[in-house]
Amino acid sequence: MNDLIEALAEFRSKRVLVAGDVMLDTYLFGTVERISPEAPVPLLNVRKKTYALGGAANVAYNLVSLGAKVKLFGVCNDNDEAGRILLRMVDSEPNLDNCIEIDRTRKTTLKCRLIADEGHHHVARYDEEIRHEIDLDIQKLMSYRIIKLLSDVDCVVLADYSKGFYTEYLAQSIIANAKDNGKMVFVDPKPANIRYFTGCSVVRPNLKEAVEITGIKCKNEDTDLERIVKKLGDIVRSPYSLVSWKGGVIVYDSPSAMCKKIMTKTRDVVDVTGAGDTMIAALSLGMVSGLDINGAAELANHAAGIVVGKAGTATTTVDEVRIAIGKNGY
């Protein structure tokens, strides 16, 4: 427990570069009193509209909430409403450095969730997005700007949501140059792009994504989780691989050929939205603050466990994590 608490104290001194698909999460809250006369669907009477940073921007916001200073790279359109709101929210955070590139040829990615009955009933969701790869000139500019800043950060987090930001060229450029600068690269990947991230330091998908990447179905958690996390590490050629699932997280430390399951303490799950973002944020900070992969995974599991107890796209703080660690007896 002392190691985890000591690592938390180091978070405020850390600087992290985050790159990936930035997006805006929108929530429409209201009540459903009847079915629409036009179709057999609930009619939501909207009472409130809120916004949250989503995708890679939420990873960055999680890092800031945990005390780190962050440089955020991504692409959005400042000519659409979602892009303007996203940029204002990023600029309003004093520890979040806006390195987002403007691309007016593509729509800013937006996820809108319709929530009824005081936040307890998710009625529907609609997305606005363009998923084709970003222009090669922007990829090259992004790579150049990121490489210039690598010496100023403690680690790099690549947050992939398969919305077009990542190409093999851009991902491999970042990974190769980060290695040359002695920086760890943490990756939260989507299965379709997994080959882009070969050679990263740590890879962390959820179980559904890991099953798709490895082709191994999880029929027995006692045996198949270990097979999945090991094959994941082999595919990405990463020294450390993690897979999160409803019971916690399983870690494979390739250099020592050791697997470890870290179970989540029982808690009420309100909303799993953004839990993976919290996990990769806390995991990266844990490792650059002196924890080994297992200690960092334990800390990240605590952080993600706090977030699933909150509604919507949520974050946690060092104080909340410290309390959770103490309550769970680590």
List, by residue number, the catalytic residues.
277
Taken in order 113, 315, 330, 189, the sign of the CA dihedral is positive
Find tokens 């994590």 and name the residue: 321
Rounded CA separation 291/256 (Å): 16
Task: Identify whether the C-beta of residue 223 lies closer than 8 Å to the C-beta of residue 184.
Answer: no
Amino acid at 230: K
Rounded CA separation 104/263 (Å): 45
Buried b or exposed e, range 166-188, using 16+ CB within 10 angstroms: beeebbbbbbebbbeeebbbbbb
Tokens of 71: 């440089």
Rounded CA separation 76/74 (Å): 7
Rounded CA separation 245/84 (Å): 35
Find tokens 């800013």 and name the residue: 108
Distances (CA, A) of 77 to 58, 80, 81, 132, 212: 18, 6, 9, 15, 32
Task: Identify whether the C-beta of residue 277 lies closer than 8 Å to the C-beta of residue 157.
Answer: no
Rounded CA separation 126/149 (Å): 36
Amino acid at 114: L
Tokens of 68: 């780190």
